[in-house]
Amino acid sequence: MSEGFDRERMILRELFDAAVAAAMPARMIPQHIPEPPAGRCVVVGAGKASAAMARAFEEHYPGRCTGLVVTRYGHAVPCDNIEIVESAHPVPDAAGVAAAGRIHEMARSLGPDDLLVALISGGGSSLLTLPAPGISLADKQAVNAALLASGLPIKRMNLLRKHLSAIKGGRLAAAAWPARVLALMISDVPGDDPGTIASGPTVGDETTLAQARAVLAALPAPLPETVSRALNNPANETPFPDDPRLVTVENRVIAAPMMSLNAAAERARAHGITPIILGDALEGEARALGRQMARDALAHRDDAPCVLLSGGETTVTLPQGARGVGGRNVEFLMGLAEGLNGAAGISALACDTDGIDGGAEVAGAIITPDTMARAQAIGYPLERALERHDGHGLFARLNHQVITGPTLTNVNDFRAILVTQ
């Protein structure tokens, strides 16, 4: 690989690192520490960043707090008084169900002088799993697996999850009434809607069982009959925003994708590169967005050196029997490389800010103008990897992967397309 490509890869990685650093819990949590209540302070939470959030909260809180948060396996951070439980993501397991049950009971134990602090981040929809009455863990696992393969946007996925849960869609906050509830959230969803982050356990829900049934009907895979029955049970309707049990709740989004894009833009300017922010909430099929952005990058050649920055959450619709190991960021990059077709002077990075893209413990990858040619030379052409949805397989062979390990934050996907000529 040429010296020019090495420099471009270094710059792209710097931009990604700046984006992640801007959303770290240790940086954001201290700005939102509440005053101690007259009674108890109980800290609960769920998400890939929740353990790091708990640690930062515990270090800066001026009183005594106890509690429990559940995070993904490998994402634990030791705390003194807040218990950390690890469970499975993206398909829930029994450890997550047990932790969610305990969190629910902690909330129910609170009185009017107490404070419940909920630390919520991306991944919480799977990690905070407490099946609604009539639903088993196996049912929830089947639903999650079907949603992950569906290509549906995250808002519609979480709409269904809320109505199959005893803790999401505002139910955690309702359980804590009449205690005060303060939810501190790191957003990993387009639009930063608090009700969509981890399926909104502390946020009143405007959606209905009828809408959840419509999402279920759109899923191609057959699901257990118990799921349909649960969605016809009026008891599984979520608390609406005007529910009187939610009047003591405050939801704050303390870190969001645009903050990270702005941090990356500042870093680009330090290199003399003009940042162009395309948006923090881009959605759609990953490879299709990649092809579209290839056209955008080519159209910005007169602005070189520049970098096109974007965030959001794309989707990958998987056919039955898909054989590859992929994720939405590497799928995006394959579509982008296909659209660029080896165009000189354009390189790109796409990574998930939590360090995990889809089906591999890999944040994402980088492409350079020679990516297609190198893939052909090693006998694994781009079109074959695309057909198999095997982005991680391709980029591992090319040594183009970005591997960070758990970053302990999550502000969704980060994309940077560097145009140098």
- Residue 369: cis peptide before it, omega within 30 degrees of 0: no
Q: What is the DSSP letter of 34?
A: P
Q: Give the helix/strand (H/E) hosting 87.
A: strand 82-87
Dihedral, CA of residue 160, residue 163, residue 169 and residue 172, to nearest 10: -140
Domain count, the chain: 2
Same domain, residue pair 81 and 36:
yes
Beta bridge partners of 279: 310
How is 359-418 classified by DSSP, letter by letter?
Answer: TBS--EEEE-TTHHHHHHHTT--HHHHHHHT-HHHHHHHHT-EE-----S----EEEEEE
**Where among 255, 272, 303 does a domain terminate?**
255
Same domain, residue pair 374 and 407:
yes
Query: Quick count: other Cβ atoms within 10 Å of Cβ 30?
Result: 13
User: And the tokens for 200?
Assistant: 């909104």
pLDDT tens track for 24-70: 999 999 999 999 999 999 999 999 999 999 999 999 999 999 999 99
Residues near 360 by Cβ (< 8 Å), separated by ≥ 6? Answer: 325, 327, 392
Report how far residue 298's alpha carbon sits from residue 62's, in angstroms, rounded to the nearest whole number.
Answer: 53
The domain of 9 spans 3-21+258-419
How is 277-316 classified by DSSP, letter by letter?
Answer: EEEEEE-SBHHHHHHHHHHHHHHTGGG-SEEEEEEE--B-
Same domain, residue pair 16 and 49:
no
CATH number at residue 199: 3.40.50.10180
**Where among 193, 220, 255 does a domain terminate?**
255
Same domain, residue pair 173 and 279:
no
Q: Is 167 helix (H, G, I), strand (E, B) or coil?
A: coil
How is 89-157 classified by DSSP, letter by letter?
Answer: SSS--HHHHHHHHHHHHHHHT--TT-EEEEEE-TTHHHHS--BPTT--HHHHHHHHHHHHTT---HHHH
**Where among 207, 239, 255 does a domain terminate?**
255
Query: Residue with structure tokens 């990604």?
Result: 16
Beta bridge partners of 352: 413
Give pTM, 2 decimals: 0.93
Report how far residue 126's alpha carbon sits from residue 198's, in angstroms, rounded to the nearest whole number.
Answer: 8
What phi and psi values does residue 70 have, to the nearest 5 degrees? -120, 130
Same domain, residue pair 365 and 406:
yes
Report how far residue 235's alpha carbon sits from residue 253's, in angstroms, rounded to the nearest whole number.
Answer: 29
Same domain, residue pair 276 and 374:
yes
Same domain, residue pair 290 and 238:
no
Same domain, residue pair 65 and 191:
yes
pLDDT tens track for 213-257: 999 999 987 899 999 999 999 999 999 999 999 999 999 999 999
Report how far residue 58's alpha carbon sits from residue 331's, in angstroms, rounded to the nearest whole number.
Answer: 39
Same domain, residue pair 153 and 265:
no
Same domain, residue pair 61 and 201:
yes
User: And the tokens for 406?
Assistant: 């758990």
Same domain, residue pair 303 and 244:
no
Instruction: Say how many CA atoms lie within 13 Å of 1 toward its Cβ.
Output: 18
Q: What's the burial of 237, exposed, middle or buried (CB within 10 Å: 0-12/13-18/19+)?
A: middle
Instruction: Say how many CA atoms lie within 13 Å of 213 toward its Cβ.
Output: 14
Same domain, residue pair 239 and 284:
no
pLDDT tens, residue order, the chain (421 aa):
455 678 999 999 999 999 999 999 999 999 999 999 999 999 999 999 999 999 999 999 999 999 999 999 999 999 999 999 999 998 999 999 999 999 999 999 999 999 999 999 999 999 999 999 999 999 999 998 898 888 888 889 999 999 999 999 999 999 999 999 999 999 999 889 999 999 999 999 999 999 999 999 999 878 999 999 999 999 999 999 999 999 999 999 999 999 999 999 999 999 999 999 999 999 999 999 999 999 999 999 999 999 999 999 999 988 876 778 999 999 999 999 999 999 999 999 999 999 999 888 999 999 999 999 999 999 999 999 999 999 999 999 999 999 999 999 999 999 999 999 8
Side chain identity, residue 229: R
CATH number at residue 378: 3.40.1480.10
